[in-house]
């Protein structure tokens, strides 16, 4: 039986030397020059021997230097605002402000930005309030996305319609930041959103999404308002506020977002396309819930019929692991079993037939009985 360990979940992640020389969300970039990639196929050999774990050297352990995209000394101040608690007051603007949204978007942004951030404690708080305003008051344009219909995504058009794709969300956030004097850029790149499959012929060089980087105290922080607004499910947008992609550390952000500009990864050693394509899909709550373990996990693993995964979970949470067919849509019963031994969880996975499988991790919160996906990878089984 082959035994695997869940990868280290820690502030410092490391590249494996073998890869050092290579490189419920939505994907929605609307540029006609960069159409969304929809092709699918079988990847090459991506077994555990080519797995990649990231490294971001602690700033205090490396010489800081002036960079176009500097990183912060600490994420403590930013992470205080990653609490999944929406400031609903930001969506309740006075009538004299709301009346400007359709007829005078520039004036609307100026008035709304001033009102929303009037009691903000610092720049992080200002950006958090703007993030909440954008995610709570704009809906994802599922109809345009599903019909592959190009719609105006400039900030004014989005404010007038109340609907946006990824670049629309990013443009609105940038406009508010510009008015507040907070440096902000729109990042274009590839996102592992709706339709992601470990067995798809992934092409991170094909731009399909947009997000933001803001600069606070001369350090860059990544934000994706689109994915924090909700998710696309069963052909409809389901609003569901979160702060998963607000100020998320770049060594975690990279598991789902690959920017066109490597420097916008905010990593000491930027990943190549090949590096990124080997990574499993980890969502932010995976890193917040599972403790560090030495080991490796790739987007595609090979197993001779059975595999074991060991990890520990944050108090109050339990893991739920499910096995699906290659499409990731059809659940296969009785192939995943979870055992607990003190603080350690062991997942026993069985793959009885030689074919491809998709394994999905869900975080189950014991108090609320809620469950949400946090990780996904593929397994090529050679049979029992």
In tens, the pLDDT along 315-328 reads 778 888 999 999 99
Whole-number pLDDT of residue 7: 40
CATH of the domain at 180: 3.10.620
Q: Are 340 and 263 in contact (CB under 8 A)?
A: no
pLDDT at 69: 84
pLDDT in tens, 10-69: 333 343 333 333 324 555 654 433 333 332 322 233 333 223 333 332 333 333 333 468
What is the average per-residue pLDDT within 85-106? Answer: 95
The upper half-sphere exposure of residue 55, i.e. CA atoms within 13 Å in the direction of its Cβ, equals 10
CA distance 94 to 160: 17
> Does 195 reside within a domain?
yes
Residue 353 inside a domain? The answer is no
Alpha helices by DSSP H, listed for the chain, are 76-79, 95-98, 100-103, 105-116, 123-137, 142-146, 155-161, 166-180, 225-229, 250-253, 273-278, 284-289
Q: What is the pLDDT of residues 351-362, one digit of tens each?
A: 999 999 999 999
In a domain, 167, yes or no: yes
In a domain, 108, yes or no: yes
Query: What contacts 341, CB < 8 A, 6 or more positions away?
Result: none
Residue 308 belongs to some domain of the structure: no
Query: Residue 274 falls within a domain, yes or no?
Result: yes
- Cα-flanking dihedrals φ and ψ of residue 353, to 5°? -115, 140
Burial degree of 311 (CB within 10 A; 0-12, 13-18, 19+): buried
Range of the structural domain that residue 113 is part of: 64-279
Q: Does residue 152 fall inside a structural domain?
A: yes
pTM of the model as a whole: 0.82
Q: With respect to residue 154, please indicate whether it lies within any of the assigned structural domains.
A: yes
Compute how many other C-beta atoms are within 10 angstroms of the C-beta atom of residue 329: 9
Number of domains observed in the structure of the chain: 1
């Amino acid at each position: 039986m082959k035994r695997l360990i869940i990868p280290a979940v820690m502030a410092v992640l490391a590249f494996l030397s073998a890869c050092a020389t290579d490189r419920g969300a939505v994907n929605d970039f609307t540029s006609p020059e960069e159409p969304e990639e929809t092709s699918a196929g079988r990847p090459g050999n991506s077994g555990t021997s080519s797995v990649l774990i990231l490294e971001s050297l602690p700033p205090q352990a490396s010489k800081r230097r002036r960079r176009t995209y500097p990183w912060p000394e600490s994420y403590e101040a930013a992470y205080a605002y990653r609490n999944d608690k929406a400031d609903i007051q930001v969506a309740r603007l006075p009538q004299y402000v709301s009346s400007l949204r359709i007829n005078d978007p520039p004036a609307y942004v100026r008035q709304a930005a001033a009102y929303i951030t009037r009691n903000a404690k610092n720049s992080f708080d200002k950006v958090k309030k703007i993030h909440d305003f954008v995610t709570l008051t704009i809906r994802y344009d599922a109809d345009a996305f599903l019909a592959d219909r190009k719609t105006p995504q400039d900030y004014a058009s989005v404010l007038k319609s109340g609907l946006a794709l990824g670049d629309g969300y990013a443009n609105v956030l940038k406009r508010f930041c510009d008015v507040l004097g907070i440096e902000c850029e729109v990042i274009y790149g590839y996102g592992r959103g709706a339709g992601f499959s470990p067995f798809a012929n992934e092409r991170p060089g094909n731009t399909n999404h947009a997000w933001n980087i803001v600069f606070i105290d001369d350090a860059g922080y990544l934000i994706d308002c689109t994915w924090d607004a909700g998710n696309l499910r069963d052909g409809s947008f389901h609003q569901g506020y979160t702060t998963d992609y607000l100020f998320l550390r770049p060594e975690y952000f990279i598991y789902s977002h690959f920017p066109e500009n490597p420097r916008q990864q905010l990593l000491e050693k930027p990943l190549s396309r090949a590096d990124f394509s080997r990574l499993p899909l980890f969502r932010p709550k995976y890193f917040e819930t599972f403790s560090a373990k030495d080991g490796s996990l790739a987007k595609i693993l090979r197993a001779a019929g059975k595999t074991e995964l060991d990890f520990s979970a944050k108090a109050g949470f339990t893991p739920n692991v499910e096995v699906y067919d290659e499409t990731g849509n059809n659940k296969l019963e009785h192939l995943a079993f979870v055992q607990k031994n003190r603080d350690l969880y062991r997942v026993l996975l069985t793959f009885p037939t030689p074919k491809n499988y998709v394994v999905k991790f869900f975080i189950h919160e014991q108090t609320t009985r809620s469950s949400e996906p946090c990780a996904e990878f593929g397994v090529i089984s050679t049979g029992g």
